[in-house]
Amino acid sequence: MGKVNEPRLAPFFLNNLGKNRHILFLGSGRKQSKNARSYYLMLRLGKKLILYLFVFFLPVLLVSLILFWRERNAPSLSAAKRNEKQFDWVSYYGSGNLAMLSRFGLIDIDAGDSAGNYTTADISGLKSSGSVVVSYLNIGACETFRSYWNQARAFSLGAYQGWPGEFWMDAGNPGWRDLIVDTVAPRLAVKGVQGFCLDNIELFQQFPNRPDIRAGIVDIVYRLRQKYPRMLIIAQNGIDILNDPGPDGRQFWQYINAEAHEEVSSTYDPYRKIDTAVSSALIDRLSAWKVKGLLVYTLDYAGDNSGLAGYDYRRSLAAGFHPYVSNKDLNKVYLWRFAAGSDRYFPGPAPAAATRAGQPYGA
């Protein structure tokens, strides 16, 4: 009677799969050799599979986690965010008043170094309070006090009437566009602001015979969106350019998060109501963009006149917009008593002609 081979357990040295080719298996003779080859092939296949998972799956997982984190931590203008604050939004280009500003959900300040209003630490503190902070960015004009004025003056198109020390800029010139996108905006971003409120977009209306200026404004906003895909971009008084096409085939409005419009219901010099028919027509136009998904912010001017400010708030809130009312120079923070919690509907008469497609404003 022949000797019976004793079964032996196979030691699987997983840490040295490439080196340990002589692996013992249960069985004997030809059967053992066949099993050994089969298991060896399986182990090689398993090793490759593990390698592929690490090479392909792990990077995808890491990228997905990073995108998820950025989405969770990106600045938001959502209603939930605003409801955490007593007041909806503020536009203030003075300095200080950090405690008052922290009571607003969205804060529009001038964070430029040359303005000297706020430090990086100030902005960080406002953000820590739960507010979203954006900075004024003048893309159609330039003030002489700006730190980049010496670079900008070569692009001047003339004085901005009514605002001493400010000049219209040639947005049709690539040099001006580069200055804004590659120098001015990065200086603001490094201070920690979460977006930009773009002013003097209506520059092209001052120079109607220069279509390159209009195209240049669109190009600036397109490039800002490309450079800062996660930052908020609010276009001020951009309603007449929202349909213009950009370099990638999209329209201007698709590069921004919100449209802010000045002097919807009241104006300054002196503080007074705007003609009701004119105001209502503008509200109708803004409402059409709200339906498309753009948030609409209104900035009216009443100074310290609470009666006029209340009128402005009622008209804006009835349309479902987000109002703020200030003085001409935007150098005072107003905590209007009727504005607290104003992202909820504020009762009051609807504006004249306050229907669109048969539906009342605020419905």
User: What digits encode the pLDDT tens for the residues 238-259?
Assistant: 999 999 999 999 999 999 999 9
Residue 70's alpha-carbon distances to 156, 194, 318, in angstroms, are 39, 13, 34
Q: Is the pLDDT reported for residue 355 higher than 50?
A: no
The percent of residues above 90 in pLDDT, for the chain, comes to 67
**Considering the domain boundaries, does residue 6 fall inside one?**
no
The per-residue pLDDT for 337 is: 83
pLDDT band at 113 (very low <50, low <70, confident <90, very high): confident
Answer whether residue 226 is part of any domain.
Answer: yes
Write down the pLDDT at residue 91. Answer: 97
Asked if residue 20 has pLDDT above 50, the reply is no
Are residues 58 and 83 located together in one domain of the fold?
A: no
Same domain, 116 and 237: yes
Identify whether residues 40 and 87 lie together within a single domain.
no
**pLDDT score, position 351:** 29
Mean pLDDT value of segment 258-263: 97
C-alpha to C-alpha distance for 43 and 179, rounded to whole angstroms = 60
E strand or H helix that includes residue 279: helix 276-292
Burial label for 31, CB within 10 Å (0-12, 13-18, 19+), is exposed
- Quote the CA–CA distance of 169 and 146 in Å, as a whole number: 13
Residues 200 and 63 placed together within one structural domain of the fold: no
Residue 97: band (very low, low, confident or very high) from pLDDT cuts 50, 70, 90: very high
Question: Residue 334: which pLDDT band, with cuts at 50, 70 and 90?
Answer: very high
Identify whether residues 27 and 113 lie together within a single domain. Answer: no
Residue 3 lies in a domain: no
Is pLDDT at 206 greater than 70 in this prediction? yes
Residues 176 and 59 in one domain: no
The C-alpha atoms of residue 208 and residue 214 are separated, in whole angstroms, by 8
If asked whether residues 31 and 98 sit together in one domain, one would say: no
* One domain, residues 203 and 93: yes
| pLDDT surpasses 70 at 346 | no
Whether 84 and 63 map to the same domain: the answer is no
pLDDT at 339: 75
Terminal Cα distance for the chain, rounded: 97
Same domain, 166 and 207: yes
- 126-174 pLDDT, tens per residue? 999 999 999 999 999 999 999 999 999 999 999 999 999 999 999 999 9
pLDDT averaged over the chain? 81
User: Which pTM value belongs to this model?
Assistant: 0.74
Total count of domains within the chain:
2
| 2 inside domain | no
Q: Is residue 1 part of a domain?
A: no
Tell me whether residue 352 is in a domain. yes
Report if residue 119 sits inside a domain. yes
Q: Which two tokens stand for residue 185?
A: 């905006």
Domain span at residue 41?
Answer: 14-67
Q: Residue 192: which CATH number?
A: 3.20.20.70
Q: Is residue 195 part of a domain?
A: yes
Q: Please tell me the distance from the alpha carbon of residue 348 to that of residue 311, in angstroms, as a whole number.
A: 9
Is the same domain home to 50 and 105?
no
Claim to verify: residue 38 and residue 143 sit in the same structural domain: no
Decide if pLDDT at 27 tops 50: no
